[in-house]
A and B are shown apart, each in its own frame.
Chain A
Amino acid sequence: MDTLSYSAILGRILIQFLPVWIALAATFAVSISFKRRLGLYGKLFDSPVGMIGFGIVMFWVFTALFANQIITFDPYSQFSGMKNKPLGTPLAGTIEGAYSHFLLGGDHLARDVFSRMVMGARSVLSIAPAATLFAFMVGITLGVPAGYFGGRLDTTLSFVANLVLAFPVILLFYLLVTPEIRLTGIPVAMAALLFLFPIIFLTVLFNARFFTDPKKRNLYVGIVLVLGGWAYSGLAFNMDPLGVWRMDPNLLNVFVSVVFVNSPTVFRIVRGIVMDLKARDYVAAGQTRGEGPWYIMLWEILPNARGPLIVDFCLRIGYTTILLGTLGFFGLGVAPDSPDWGSTIDDGRKTLALFPHAALAPALALMSLVLGLNLLADGLREESLKD
């Protein structure tokens, strides 16, 4: 069999991504036809920049979802004779029912670069948004009261946040993500602390709103505590009685460190916005009505801060993706054969000058995802400022 030409490779890749194209087309068709009824999300489709960004981001989200259908080979298995082979090389000795070519060539261990890149999307997108969400929970739970009450609470929390921010990220990673530190239980302790914040946030949120109606309050807070406690026991301590929630110690270490690095910045942003908003008239009106501080903070100020927070959330997912890539690039906290983009770039860079394709594919993938998120954030910022 012949080596595929570049146009044949491109065509085949486009066909492989068919489920993604269908899903993208459906998303855009539905969103554009109902865009007037979808609030800020709908307005996104008025801005070309936002639409491009959203398209790129959703492309990778759908790729992660349909990764099993898209890949042409098992991303972990090695194929004899395919080491460092260029793009479109046919497989020596075809396997029954499998595809016949390595679309983007083989890497230094004779694995399919294309399939690994596609699987990498899944491993990145299963961590980055969740880690960002946790960082936001921590940042909001601490930043809103710090900005609202000010005083000694604010001074202390800001000092701690500045401490973490004064660490160069890479140094923090080298100190926090090591096999040795996993033996000491520090990641578990950090997880125990950081994973508590979403539960605290939701409990306070519902309590502030419904404490006048104990029946409803008990229901909502009860649900939060039961579900939250269940997930908490599993994620932080790996002691979920039902075994649904669990996190690999490696992954927990990476996850906790990324949340830890991100939350001080979120704290500072939230604190700044709240300090700005608390001087508004509607806050004074709420105080005059006799509303409690937590109600004002979480149900009056926070909804009004959502614009900048959503924008920053998008940017921060991109930043988290970069951080995860950095961790992978230095081989910290990931399995050696993991297909995530950072580690594949690291694997590929050793043979970079002679066989650049193995590192280029994941590098371009990572870049496009982060670029998409940045464009999406830009579009959202533009549209939210128009209100």
Chain B
Amino acid sequence: MLIFVARRLGLMLLTAFVLTFVVFYLTNLPPNLEKLARSEGSVRMSDEAVAGWIEQNGHGGSVFLRYGQWLGVVPGWTRVDDKGVARGRCFAAGTDPAAAPRYCGILQGNWGYSTFAKTQVLPYLSGMLASTGWLMLWVMIVMIPSSLVIGVVAGMREGSRTDRVLSTFSIATTATPEYVSGVILVALLASPVTGLSPILADWGWISGRTLFLGASSPDNITFWSFTLPVMTIALYGIGYIARMTRASMTEVMTAQYIRTARLKGVSFRQVVLKHALRNALIAPFTVIMLQFPWLLNGVVIVETLFNYKGFGWTLVQAAGNNDINLLLGCSVVAVFVVLVTQLISDIGYVFLNPRIRLS
């Protein structure tokens, strides 16, 4: 078991290195740097001035060295510019270079300065992640129980009417990406001109103009502002996880030991709850964990749609404003989340499934 975990961890670290390097390379492409130079320096800079700015600010030279500096395994660059001021990666211009640490990459906790947020990336990003955490918490609370219940009930009696109805529902939700379900939900429930809200307002059942709010913010988490974004993210996942649970449940229900239990006279209820359920829930566990990369997608779309200032919103802003450090930070977090969930899903699968023995 320990060797298995160690090997998985090693592979994960290797993957993390490769992925962060790819992200670093793609965000630090020469055209991106030129754009950065023009936005930070001046729009009317000549091409030579741009090249000089890039060189002066430590963006020149080999991409591997720059990656090493960003990571914090290669000493940060230092340079003395034309005016005789010492500049470097690890200290502000004009301060004493000798007092600064030699290494300052993300490993040392220096994630760089965000040109969009006008602050350090790390604290800014952690604030945004906390906001997204609230959203995700509610998504999980809604998504996991409902999808498991739908899947188990549908798979309990394969081919029954309940199964057909629930399966159709699952197919329909997996066919509805977040930007579609979000639009439909807003039109139905949060628009003062269409859907339910005008009718309810007519009857005097709601005091505002809309039933739910079409925008939400992390400072104001209420049922009325959070339902739509949470439902939008959860719906897609519910269909997918429910289908996996159903497949797993139908497989378990045809197993020999279930038939034996039924023939012994155990009631259907007991068979499902005591014998089938535990084995049927192993596969969905993996699926739920592997849903995280897609949930990240959903978060980005929903935070854009509902203007919720969290991690996904930050990613969009960072990319749109060519904020290299912030985009790199977002990428590191995203890649980290994906890899950790993969690791948990692998290890958890082995733990949950006694049929897998690791030599």
Contacts and interface: CB of A to CB of B under 8 A. Distances in A.
Interface of A: 159, 162-163, 165-171, 174-176, 178, 180-181, 183-184, 186, 318, 322, 325-326, 329-330, 342, 345-346, 348-349, 352-357, 359-360, 363-364, 366-367, 370-371, 373-375, 378
Given A168-B293, A169-B297, A175 B193 contact: no
Nearest to A86: B193
B184 A360 contact: yes
Contact of A168 (B187, B296, B319): B296
Contacts of A162: 15
A156 to B, nearest CB: 13
B192 A353 contact: yes
Contacts of B177: 322, 325-326, 366, 370
Nearest to B33: A180
B277 interface: no
Contacts of B32: 180
A370 B183 contact: no
A381 B354 CA distance: 31
A170 B297 contact: yes
A356 B179 CA distance: 13
A348 B187 CA distance: 11
Interface string B169-196: 0011011110110011011001111110
Contacts of A374: 171, 174-175
A159 B30 CA distance: 28
Interface string B190-205: 1111110000000000
B300 to A, nearest CB: 5
A166 B339 contact: yes
21 contacts: A166-B15, A166-B19, A169-B293, A170-B300, A174-B319, A174-B327, A183-B31, A318-B175, A345-B183, A348-B183, A349-B183, A352-B183, A352-B186, A355-B193, A356-B183, A360-B184, A367-B175, A367-B176, A367-B180, A370-B177, A371-B172
A123 to B, nearest CB: 17
B334 A171 contact: yes
Interface string B12-46: 00010011001100110111100100000000000
Contacts of A354: 191-193
B304 interface: yes
A184 B342 CA distance: 33
Contacts of A355: 193
Contacts of B335: 166-168
B287 to A, nearest CB: 14
A374 B240 CA distance: 12
B210 interface: yes
Contacts of A166: 15, 19, 293, 335, 338-339, 342
B112 interface: no
Given A166-B19, A329-B301, A367-B180, A181 B26 contact: yes
Interface of B, secondary structure class, is: helix
Nearest to B170: A374
Interface of A, secondary structure class, is: helix
Interface in B320-359: 327, 330-331, 334-335, 338-339, 342
A329 B175 contact: no
Contacts of A375: 171
B72 interface: no
A15 B339 CA distance: 52
Interface in B127-174: 171-172, 174
A168 B190 CA distance: 30
A180 B34 CA distance: 10
Interface size range of chain B in the complex: 35 or more
B86 interface: no
Contacts of A345: 179-180, 183
A223 B294 CA distance: 42
A342 B182 CA distance: 13
Contacts of B338: 166-168
Contacts of B294: 169
A162 B177 CA distance: 24
Q: Which of B19, B177, B193, B300 has the most chain A CB atoms inside 10 A of its CB? A: B177
B250 to A, nearest CB: 13
Contact of B26 (A165, A175, A318, A364): A175
A342 B175 contact: no
Contacts of A364: 180, 184
Contacts of A348: 183
Given A168-B296, A349-B305, A326 B179 contact: yes
B185 to A, nearest CB: 10
Q: Which of A186, A357, A367 has the most chain B CB atoms inside 10 A of its CB? A: A367
Given A322-B177, A325-B180, 9 more contacts: A166-B293, A170-B315, A178-B319, A184-B29, A325-B177, A326-B297, A356-B187, A363-B180, A370-B175
A168 B297 contact: yes
B15 A163 contact: yes
B316 interface: yes
B175 A360 contact: no
Contacts of A165: 293
B15 A176 contact: no
A319 B190 CA distance: 28
A180 B319 CA distance: 12
A180 B39 CA distance: 14
B179 A329 contact: yes
A363 to B, nearest CB: 4
B214 interface: yes
A6 to B, nearest CB: 13
B284 to A, nearest CB: 19
A326 B180 contact: no
A168 B341 CA distance: 12
Given A180-B29, A349-B305, A352-B214, A171 B191 contact: no
A345 B27 CA distance: 28
A167 B29 contact: no
Contacts of A178: 319
Nearest to B215: A353
Nearest to A356: B187
